[in-house]
Structure 1
Amino acid sequence: MLDRAGGVDVQVTTARTLRDHLPTPIARTAGAVRRRLKGLRYSYAQLPEFPQVADTPVRLFIGPTNSAGQGYAWARAADTIDGVSAVSFSVHRKGQFQFKDDYGVPLVWFGQPRWQRAQEQHVLGSYTHVLMESLRPLFGARGLKDGFTELQQLKDAGIKPALLFHGSDIRLPSRHAKRERWSPFTPGDPLTDRLETQAARFAELVDAADVPVFVSTVDLLDDVPAARWLPVAIDPAPWARAARPLFSTDRPVVVHVPSSAQLKGSDRIDEVLTGLADSGLIEYRRISGVTHQQMPAVIGDADIVVDQLRIGLYGVAAVEALAAGRLCVSYVGSAVRDRVRSLTGREVPIVEADPDSLASVVTDLLSDRTAAAEQAAAGPGFVAELHDGRRSARALTDWFDSKESL
């Protein structure tokens, strides 16, 4: 079924897949790589070109997952620092939505030995700092489960490496389930068990790596207490430009764009919002089939954006809704709100809701639209102060100026 939102054709089904939010393992055995390449003919003239590297004192390389486009966003934030240049790299998987990056390669090329050697030479010979996302290998699928051995290569080359985690790559489900009433993680569930194994192994590697660690959301400081917060970053301007006046349609529009239906509690969100729509109170749009370039128009045509009800955090999708001046409804949790207040002095302007309270929260917002509009108006300022890249640049500057991992 197609709907129209801000001139954009929208398919109202599940949006981005779990793979968009969670980097999948990119290690492959030699046999698997050979099977994948079987029948393909490579022209070495078609090897992807590497980007020009600026002649600056600090040259930062970020990759290889670019989750939610954040590798590219942090690279642009780093570019604003005097004496710093940055490049983002990502592996492009067929059938998976691609965010903007500085350069990347298809997964089949990631397993190509000649490209692997060229990538290794490029990185080791060009950069002073490397931010390795999600402990994934940077130099190709060479039978490695992770990028741990590459960290030592970087150190041996005189490069300062750091690790960066986005969420379920390091969040331990069993720990989350103990602290969060609404946790989506259940022992025996295939996703829970897979993430438990991965997070436990990565935690051991983090301890052994002895390099600085960044996390993109403050809830992850529970999983990596020694980590530093590298706030997610966006360009607020497209979101602000695309936003229509709040509550300017016949029925308020409520939007949900799940990157992972299981982790975001989309079953309960669908149940509640469909019920409110059937009663005539709202128009409910569950969005899919939309590129990131189209998302400002989709979000800007909404009055309320319901992000998630299970995890207890806020991330890129919530920040984008706030930048558009929309009412963002989500389960943030008191621990995250307290930590953001402690770190920044700011209150998170997201309307709190959980699986039990979502219906009443939305109904209350619509019953006092003046108060709701005042709540929404706090969003753009919050984003401008914490998530337009400037605070991210400050976090990176502290790392560049430190003596760690020399």
Structure 2
Amino acid sequence: MNLPPAVSRVAAAVVRRAPDGLVRAVAPSLRPWAPGDVPVNPPVPGAPVRLYVGPANYAGQGTAWARAAELLPGVGAVAMTAEPPAGFSFPTDVRVPQAVYTGSHRWQSAQRRYVGRFSHVLVEACRPLFGTLDATAHEPNGVWREITDLRASGVVVGNVAHGSDVRDPARHLEATAWSPFRDTAWETGRLLAISAPEHNRRLDELEASGVPTFVSTPDLLRDRPAATWLPLVVDPDRWATDAPPLARPVPVVVHAPTNGPVKGTAAIEPVLERLAARGTIDYRRVTGVPAARMRDVYRDADVVLDQFALGSYGVATCEAMAAGRVVVAHVTDQVRTAVAERAGRELPVLEATPDTLEDVLTHVLDERATVAERAWAEGPAFVRALHDGRASAEALAGFCGVAAAADA
């Protein structure tokens, strides 16, 4: 039965606020979770600075930043992940099933009370912390009201942009000839052309009122010039290996396209397949592998190919560098300059575009001893200098109101 829109909204509001047990008994499809699916929050940290991070945790970074913040004196942190059914299950302090996050009014209300006990909050990816609690027909993304309410209650709030939330397609097209936004049939690109300008407008307003923005990768400083770069974090020891790269006659070349258009997979695979057919390389395309198993994938690789469309680098590059692998990707001059200024050293990623990839890989094979030695020495050192959490803690120190020197 089709109800008038006004009636449907009222009915939905009543159902959302009804006791879970009652709705599950009468209409179980409206409560697609069991009582045990609702997570129990950890105790609020007893530290003077109590930081809450969520809800995206893309590539485990929300949790990694929470742990990095705890390197600072007097900071305790909790990270939350609103996880879809097919999520990669990165480590987190609180894992909230998507159905609970979006549908449980009881959880949402309890979560708002819980987060209100923290002194600082980092909101990831312009996504609400409390699901649909503050969503309205006029304002479907309740995150902006959440931020207003948290600040009114005395909580210090900051935003963290991960990429697709603020990356402006028009600006990105100017940055690199290999931008995925050149594909006008790319549905995600069309959606970002709508959402990113709106997110940037909101963040402009918040920055003007004193709410800082952090960005996870330096290319996003083009979109958020007033933001602070919050470096990605990986554990160098977890990815370390005793086996240097390029020791085999036929090197293993790995590409793990978690998002093909963003990684530029379609543009580089013809090159890789051609080289593999000649027996020059052993090409392995890795998909659907849980995050916990990627360490073995990179340890068994000689060369890791990461991003060839965005012009930046992400967690996969950091993990491969920490393992001492030869990393090849397209990274713009703007990103490389930002890295050099921040780290005091060059990004040890061999530059290639889809047009030059075959030549670069041929160079790797021709000069394998020199290339392998540099990757083995420079990759892990670079990750320890910029991506082991200490630089991220330093970036968060001012926001947390504590001393900038992190405890190594």
Q: Do the structures match in fold with TM over 0.5?
A: yes
Q: Distance in 2 between matches of 1:343 and 1:103?
A: 32
Q: TM-score, normalised by structure 1?
A: 0.87
Q: Which residue of 1 aligns with 2:391?
A: 391
Counterpart amino acid of residue 112 in structure 1: S
Gaps of 5+ in 1: 1-27
Gaps of 5+ in 2: 1-8, 17-22, 403-408
% identical equivalent positions? 44
Q: Which residue of 2 aligns with 1:204?
A: 201
| Equivalent runs, 1:33-48 vs 2, <5 Å | 38-40=29-31, 47-48=38-39
Q: Which residue of 1 aligns with 2:214?
A: 214
Q: Deviations over 1:242-262 (max 9, x none)?
A: x52322334100000012101
Q: TM-score, normalised by structure 2?
A: 0.87
Q: Which residue of 2 aligns with 1:18?
A: none
Question: Structure 1 residues 116, 39: closer, same or farther in 2, change over 3 A?
Answer: closer
CA shift, 1:37, in A, is 6.5
3-state SS in 1 of match to 2:291 = coil
CA shift, 1:43, in A, is 6.4
Question: Structure 1 residues 29, 355: closer, same or farther in 2, change over 3 A?
Answer: farther
Stretch moving more, 55-64 or 263-272: 263-272
CA shift, 1:289, in A, is 2.4
Q: Distance in 1 between matches of 2:28 and 2:234?
A: 37
Give yes or no for the alignment of 1:291 onto 2:283. Answer: no
Q: Which residue of 2 aligns with 1:235?
A: 235
Q: Larger relative CO (CA 8 A, sep 6+): 1 or 2? A: 1
Q: 1:135 touches 1:146 (CA, 8 Å); kept in 2?
A: no
Q: Distance in 1 between matches of 2:37 and 2:300?
A: 42
3-state SS in 2 of match to 1:294 = helix
Query: Cα RMSD (Å) of the superposition?
Result: 2.1
Counterpart amino acid of residue 90 in structure 2: F
Q: 2:78 touches 2:93 (CA, 8 Å); kept in 1?
A: yes
CA shift, 1:150, in A, is 0.5
CA shift, 1:39, in A, is 5.0
CA shift, 1:356, in A, is 0.3
Q: Deviations over 1:176-232 (max 9, x none)?
A: 012211111034532211011111000111012231000010110000000000000
| Equivalent runs, 1:5-16 vs 2, <5 Å | none
Count of residue pairs the alignment pairs up: 373
Q: Which residue of 2 aligns with 1:309?
A: 308
Q: Which residue of 2 aligns with 1:5?
A: none
**Equivalent residue for 2:114, pick from 108, 114, 122:** 122
CA shift, 1:79, in A, is 1.4
Q: Deviations over 1:301-351 (max 9, x none)?
A: 000000021111111110111000000000011111112112332100000
Question: Structure 1 residues 250, 244: closer, same or farther in 2, change over 3 A?
Answer: same
3-state SS in 2 of match to 1:293 = helix
| Equivalent runs, 1:157-306 vs 2, <5 Å | 157-186=153-182, 187=184, 189-209=186-206, 210=209, 211-241=211-241, 244-306=243-305
Q: Distance in 1 between matches of 2:35 and 2:162?
A: 34
Q: Distance in 2 between matches of 1:264 and 1:53?
A: 38
Q: 4+ residue runs of structure 1 moved beyond 3 angstroms? A: 28-37, 39-47
Q: Distance in 2 between matches of 1:340 and 1:360?
A: 25
Q: Distance in 1 between matches of 2:248 and 2:35?
A: 56
| Equivalent runs, 1:61-210 vs 2, <5 Å | 61-110=52-101, 111-124=103-116, 126-142=117-133, 143=135, 144-186=140-182, 187=184, 189-209=186-206, 210=209
CA shift, 1:31, in A, is 4.6
Q: Distance in 1 between matches of 2:10 and 2:68?
A: 36
Q: Distance in 1 between matches of 2:369 and 2:235?
A: 27
Q: Distance in 1 between matches of 2:161 and 2:189?
A: 18
Q: Distance in 2 between matches of 1:190 and 1:322?
A: 32
Counterpart amino acid of residue 146 in structure 2: E
